[in-house]
Structure 1
Amino acid sequence: MTSTLLSSISSPDLKSLRTFVRAKIIPASREHDEQETFPLEIFRMLHAQGWLQAFLPQEFGGTQATTADMIEIMREIAYGSPGITTSIAANLLAYVPIIGHALPEIRESVCRDFLERFSLSSFCFTEPDHGSDVLRIHTTATRTEDGYVLNGKKCFVTNGNFAERFVVVARLVPRSGIELHPREAFALFLVSGDSAGVARGAPYRKLGHRDSNTTDIFLDQVKVPLNHLIGNEGEGLKIAFESIQRSRTLLSASAVGLALRAYDLSCDYVNSRSLYDKLLMEQPAIRNALVQMRTDIEASWQLTKVAAANWDSGDRSFAPSSMAKLYCGQMAVRVSGQALELFGGWGYTSEFAIEKVCRDAKLYDLAEGPTFVQQTILARELLKDYDKAAHAKKPDIRTAPVSSRKAA
């Protein structure tokens, strides 16, 4: 797919990444998918090439890639491995709060360390018994003289078995005489992975994205220094949602990359198979299906670019990223499913790569808020905007006043 870059990343750089994806990532992803192992060697190579740390601020030696830059990177890598981009997105999900809200000395230390040395981080938000109902978070943070003590369990922690640091959302235990508003009862903390009391569960066995690591994280009387509070007390949800908003845009770009792979695999297959002495590619129904797939992909990419541009402009409204996430997640499932149908029965076997693509696609419909959650977010925000514009003066929905209508 060709597109005009909205960013400072040059086309030669993207071509170099594209070559690396096809030469190294695609075969490695298939191998790690079959073995359900984590491709650390690929992450180290991506770090050595500068792709993993591209988002770091220039003041710390990074290139300060914008969101428009990052969606280009994510799309290219997801073409070869959606699982690897899931881990990259989770790593960035942890860094966005640190870069934007941690104390200057913490921000500089963490960023410079990642610039010079490969490591992974995790964002710890979801818990076993509440899912997307964030106000029910049970992990607690109790204030002490020199910091906080954290207790709780987090699930669906991407990179959790390999992360050196965690960004944790926790509920503040009210101090004597202080009553907290429900949405101001949370804070964000930077937790070292080797802290006493941190334990990691076994890796999840998953339908897809098997080359991405997911696990549970247990926090038992984990001491956190005062300067590892990210932002202020009461800002935990606000900061977390800002980071998730950007991450949804990156996942949307990854969904586009996966769909492009499904499209290319389909084109290659129908160009090599015949039916009734005629190439499948020459069948009108097949050609129409391919056109619809490509149109769906392009529409998704445009939504993703709008969401990226909004974030880069400073707009923190949820609608653009949620729209992109909603549409791109559904599109990835739809396009990969159409591609599998073009393969017929062979598409259902692991003999062809489209089988893995279809397994990987479903995550984009689920991660960081499934379809109904995105619809709820959008309904709340879009109807709020409508209310502001329309409630001042109620519109007359009739086409004409009753008095002016002619009798039948």
Structure 2
Amino acid sequence: MALDPETFDALIDQVRRFVTDRLRPLEAQVEADDAIPADVIDEMKAMGLFGLSIAEEHGGLGLTMAEEARVAIELGRTTPAFRSSFGTNVGIGSQGLVMAGNAEQKAQWLPRIASGEVVTSFALTEPDVGSDSGSVKTRAVLAKDKNGGDVYRLSGTKRYITNADKADLFTVMARTGKEVGGRGVSAFLVPRDLPGVSIGEPEKKMGQRGAKVADVVFDDVPVPAVNRLGEEGEGFKIAMRVLDRGRLHIAAVCVGVAERLIADCVAYAGTRNQFGKPIAEHQLIQAMIADSKTEALAARALVLETADRKDRGEDVVMESAAAKYFASEMVGRVADRAVQIFGGAGYIADYGIERLYRDVRLFRIYEGTSQIQQIIIARETMKRGG
């Protein structure tokens, strides 16, 4: 259920001011320290950002997809690392539970996820499994514990797991059946404190510093059977539903970053003089700004239209893939033009453009590469008959 317009407008205004006044001044510090300050995380919790997509009955804000997309656009106007600090709680780390969890599971976890007390992660990718996500090798074997209760013995390694370093709860995809492909995959809620769970050192990354990714190793972890999400063999379907929503959220963030970059380019071009006048008056600079603005407007329209359709209960598998594909490719082009417009300054760290250039490169990879989105778009288009 959507918030009333006045309440939602107040939320957007609060997020916009938080991004402008609080987060943007810290961008260089986060880049240097590779960490989000603890007091900023506390402020995010107090604002309810960890529970944007979680129902009000479980302590969240209960935003619709259209509302979440508009908030994500605002959050995109600063380094994406800030959003990542709570992004897994809003998206892939919680939505499996929201979509497929039973009443007891939701009551146990969702209020603490919404408050930020519990940080979640989504554990699908493995050392040998990326785009071919139906081929996971992590295995969960049903057994008995010492008291005769049903447990799954979980073993395997997950790679590049966002927020793994601070996660309290993992949604883990593991193979429970002998079937080849996604049909043999099941989903589990795995608390970090179970014996046999260990976290690797955070990876050194090209961009989005402050948002950590690391390996998660499960060594014969006893996961209670009551922690399974849905039935055996439903894990892959759950993962794909989670990613449909996550892709739309990421597309919205891409729009926000693009709008930030365009605003920075316009401001710089109006003050930087060459050949006796501001470079904004040179037509080839104007062409780059025009191309960037047009693409950003198109991406925004696609994201918001798809979000509205999702809220109406329509099938948006293709549209979500198209939004993520177009928006992530779009923001890469906008970032490249921004470096060109800034010239030498765009290559220097002090201006922040090179940082955003590095940050946005990941959008074309995670939650499904651009090539995977193309496959989904083509498949769904042919399925629907064009």
Under TM normalisation by the shorter chain, which class is it? over 0.9
Give ranges in structure 1 of 5+ residues lacking alignment: 175-179, 390-408
1:135-146 correspondence runs (5 A): 135-145=134-144, 146=150
Distance apart, 1:81 and its partner CA: 2.0
Alignment of 1:1-400 (within 5 A): 10-91=8-89, 92-145=91-144, 146-174=150-178, 180=179, 182-386=181-385
Q: Distance in 1 between matches of 2:285 and 2:375?
A: 36
2:256 maps to a residue whose letter is G
1:219–1:242 CA distance, 2 compared to 1 (3 A): same
The amino acid of 1:165's aligned partner reads L
CA contact (8 A) 2:155 2:218 kept: yes
- Asked whether the equivalents of residues 140 and 151 of structure 1 are also in contact (C-alpha less than 8 Å), the reply is yes
CA drift of 1:9 comes to: 5.3
The answer (yes or no) to whether the contact 1:7–1:66 under 8 Å persists in 2 is no
Contact 1:6 1:68 in 2 (8 A): no
1:116 deviates by 4.2
Runs of 4+ more than 6 Å apart:
5-8
DSSP-derived class of the 1:234 partner: coil
Q: Deviations over 1:377-404 (max 9, x none)?
A: 1111112222xx7xxxxxxxxxxxxxxx
Work out the CA distance in 1 between the residues paired with 2:259 and 2:66: 18
| 2:147 match | none
The alignment of Structure 1 onto Structure 2 pairs a total of residues equal to: 378
Tell me how far apart the structure 1 counterparts of residues 259 and 199 of structure 2 sit (CA, whole Å): 35
Given that 1:168 and 1:191 are in contact with CA atoms closer than 8 Å, whether structure 2 keeps it comes out as: yes
Amino acid aligned to 2:30: H
RMSD: 1.8
SS at match of 1:314: coil
2:384 and 2:252 map into 1 onto residues whose CA distance is: 26
Q: Which runs of 5+ in 2 are unaligned?
A: 145-149
AA in 1 matched with 2:166: F
Equivalent position amino acid for 2:142 in 1: R
| Structure of higher CA gyration radius | 1
How far did residue 57 of structure 1 move? 1.1
Distance in 2, Cα, partners of 1:89 & 1:20:
16
In the alignment, the residues of structure 1 paired with residue 300 and residue 336 of structure 2 have an alpha-carbon distance, to the nearest angstrom, of 19
Q: Measured at CA, do residues 186 and 197 of structure 1 come closer, stay the same or move farther in structure 2, by a change above 3 Å?
A: same
SS of structure 2 residue aligned to 1:52: helix
Q: Deviations over 1:238-288 (max 9, x none)?
A: 011000110000000111111111111111111111011111122222223
State the 1:8 CA deviation.
7.5
**How does the TM-score come out when normalised to structure 2?**
0.93
For the 8 Å contact 1:89–1:247, the answer to whether it is kept is no
Deviation string 1:350-386 (CA, Å, 9 cap, x unpaired) is 0211111111111111111111111111111112222
The offset of 1:315, in angstroms, is 2.6
Aligned mates of 1:7, 1:184 — CA distance in 2: 43
* 8 Å Cα contact 1:39-1:211 kept in structure 2: no
Distance change (3 Å), C-alpha of 1:17 and 1:361? same
Equivalent residue of 1:215, what SS? Answer: strand
